[in-house]
Amino acid sequence: MDESMFTRRRYANLIQFVCFVSSLEPKNVKEALMDEAWIQEMKEELDQFIRNKVWILVPRPTYANVFVQQMQQEFEMSMVGELTYFFDLQVKQSDDGTFVSQSKYVKNLVKKFGLKNAKHTNIPTNTTLKLSKDEQAMKVDPTLYRSMIGSLLYLTASHPDIYYSVGVCARYQANPMESHISAVKRIIRYVNSTVDFGIWFSKDTNSNLVCLSDADWAGNADDRKSTSGGCFYLGNNLVSRHSKKQNCISPSTAEAEYIVVGSCLTQLLWMKQMIEDYGLI
């Protein structure tokens, strides 16, 4: 086996434990079709296909079976034109760089969950209140809660400022309480006040890889575990980020910081290897 391929695979396996993913994601189509939130998300994706005229649904021929075949069509970029919208991502290109946002998606999200006229907030999380299991509180509809979390996770593509807050709230999808849905609604009120926020990718940059990392020592109120966080930049541009609860309890802030630094260095090495493989540096 080629050594570079082995290196990428090894780093990829390590990164799987670094990046945050929901443990409640369905394992197959059958499980997804049993969850109203996932059905709604799939319907929204299909509606996007229809609006963008990606495909046309036609009746199945009665005289033949259906075969799935990958089809490829080449386009001249001069005929297609400049990309301005792609799967709820709004793209604005200029001589200086590219700005990616989801303002239309935010407006639809806020309207969908009935918070269009709710009071705005300037930060996504209450800094004086830590979420916990809160098992004595009143339960809320888990389907609604998961739908809100899923919608916000999709929004993190252009709003990295809510990535940590949404990740913390996502931990309570199995048994959400009033305090949890209140925290999610606060995030939605925040994005409603930052509709036009997005990510700027500047052309005036360099190929230096940089990571900014931090950890909140014993920040989880349930098990006293810390949460690692990191933002990765290629020159001036944000290209990746992660937020994950650490696997062990750190007895000191120094140990919590060592763990997050180790995780970030692992991903930096993987990214460096990928960039070298593509001949960018």
Q: Assess whether pLDDT exceeds 50 at residue 15.
A: no
Given this model, what pLDDT does residue 145 score? 94
Residue pair 232/209 in contact (Cβ under 8 Å)? The answer is: yes
- Residue 253 is predicted with a pLDDT of 87
Tokens of residue 256, six digits: 């919590």
Least confident of 32-46, 49-63, 111-125, 259-273: 49-63
Indicate if the pLDDT at residue 19 is higher than 60: no
Q: Give the percent of the chain with pLDDT over 70.
A: 80
What's the pLDDT at 36?
A: 76
pTM, full prediction = 0.67
Q: Which amino acid is located at 166 in the chain? A: V
pLDDT at 183 over 80: yes
| pLDDT, tens digit, 9 for 90 and up, residues 185-201 | 999 999 999 999 999 99
Per-residue confidence (pLDDT) for residue 190, from 0 to 100:
95
Does position 241 have pLDDT exceeding 90, yes or no?
no
pLDDT score of 73: 47
Q: Please provide the average confidence, as pLDDT, over all residues in the chain.
A: 81
Report pLDDT digits (tens) over 130-177.
889 988 889 999 999 999 999 999 999 899 999 899 999 999 999 999
